[in-house]
Amino acid sequence: MTTRNLLLLPVFILALFISLPQPISAGAVVEYPKLRDSVDPQLQLRLQHLLASRGLQKAVDQKRLAIALVDISDPMNPRMASVNGEVMKYAASLPKIAILLTAFVQIDEGKLELTEALEADMINMIRFSSNAAATRVLDIVGRDALLETIQSPRFMLYDKNYNGGLWVGKAYAKSGAYQRDPLHQISHGVSAIQAARYYYLLTTGQMLSPELTARMKEMLSQPAIAHKFVKGLTNYPEAKLYRKSGTWRHFHADSALVEYDDRSYIMVGLAEDPQGGRWLEKLAAPLQELVLEELPEE
* Residue range 117-141: mean pLDDT, rounded: 98
Quick one: 292 exposed, middle or buried, by C-beta within 10 A (0-12, 13-18, 19+)?
middle
- Give the pLDDT score at 107: 98
Residue 135 predicted with pLDDT over 70? yes
**What are the C-alpha distances in Å from 147 to residues 69, 105, 182?**
26, 13, 12
Give the Cα separation of 128 and 140 in Å (integer): 19
Q: How confident is the model at residue 30 (pLDDT cuts 50, 70, 90)?
A: confident
CA neighbor of 285 nearest in space, from 54, 65, 17: 54
Question: What's the CATH architecture for 37-292?
Answer: 3-Layer(aba) Sandwich (3.40)
pLDDT in tens, 41-73: 999 999 999 999 999 999 999 999 999 999 999
DSSP 37: G
Residue 23 predicted with pLDDT over 70? no
Give the Cα separation of 156 and 151 in Å (integer): 5
Contacts (Cβ under 8 Å, ≥6 apart) of 89: 66, 186, 189, 190, 191, 251, 253, 270, 272
Give the Cα separation of 30 and 56 in Å (integer): 39
- Give the pLDDT score at 294: 61
Give the Cα separation of 4 and 13 in Å (integer): 15
Rounded to 5°, the CA angle 96-147-264 comes to 45
Residue 28 predicted with pLDDT over 80? no
Query: Would you tell me how many other CB atoms lie within 10 Å of the CB of residue 211?
Result: 9
> Which has more confidence, 70 or 1?
70
- Give the pLDDT score at 247: 98
Give the Cα separation of 83 and 6 in Å (integer): 62
Give the Cα separation of 286 and 58 in Å (integer): 19
pLDDT in tens, 87-111: 999 999 999 999 999 999 999 999 9
Q: How confident is the model at residue 220 (pLDDT cuts 50, 70, 90)?
A: very high
pTM: predicted TM-score of the whole model, two decimal places: 0.90
Give the Cα separation of 91 and 248 in Å (integer): 8
Rounded to 5°, the CA angle 53-68-192 comes to 125
Decide: 53 and 245 in contact? Cβ < 8 Å: no
Decide: 218 and 242 in contact? Cβ < 8 Å: no
Residue 27 predicted with pLDDT over 70? no
Domain residue ranges in the chain: 37-292
Residue 202 predicted with pLDDT over 90? yes
Residue 298 predicted with pLDDT over 70? no
Return the amino acid letter for 224. Answer: A
Lowest mean pLDDT among 17-26, 110-119, 217-226, 277-286: 17-26
Return the amino acid letter for 250. Answer: H
* Residue range 141-156: mean pLDDT, rounded: 98
